[in-house]
Structure 1
């Protein structure tokens, strides 16, 4: 971890604690996460485009789902906002069942 992300284990633990012990987005802890594997170190790909980091562009620690989600949306806040708008619009139109799923 130290070589790839310029982050020591101690710094990782401090960062995770600053985030409340869980993913920087969803808040799930490693033990709550379905994969129960190590979380990802998230960094700004505009700075370091590879699977390593200079250490200055580390944004936080994320679970695999949230890290993958950011990647699928190309770290683009506007695209994420459009996705949020899309989901909220659907929920607003289907108020009778705000949490649809298998019944």
Structure 2
């Protein structure tokens, strides 16, 4: 095992109390895909899945790709804020090529 994966193993064991084998089992249970967007994650490269956990309880929720993990973190892991963001995107759908606010050049 390479040095980087060895460091990942130590970090997981320290942070979440379980090792690389448990991570691989969780990844397989999710078909090696992000629990939110379904992006494929590969533990052998930089496209790996990340352990998502509740910051208050410390309990693991699942595995996410880096973008989804950072996205929910940026929205403070708050379900109401995430719902508001979803509503905002739905209410301001510009897929038809129109916007009340104009276009950025």
| TM-score where L is the length of structure 1 | 0.71
Deviation at 1:73, TM superposition (A): 0.7
> Larger radius of gyration, structure 1 or 2?
2
- Residue in 2 that maps onto 1:69: 71
2:28 equivalent to 1:17: yes
Q: Which structure 2 residue ranges, 5 or more long, are not aligned?
A: 1-11, 99-105
Deviation at 1:97, TM superposition (A): 4.1
- Equivalent residue of 1:60, what SS? strand
- Residue in 1 that maps onto 2:51: 41
**Which of 13, 19, 25 is the equivalent residue of 1:8?**
19
Runs of 4+ residues over 3 Å off in structure 1: none
Larger RCO: 1 or 2 (CA < 8 Å, sep 6+): 1
**Which of 63, 77, 80 is the equivalent residue of 1:78?**
80
Q: RMSD in angstroms over aligned alpha carbons?
A: 2.1
**Higher-helix-fraction structure:** 2
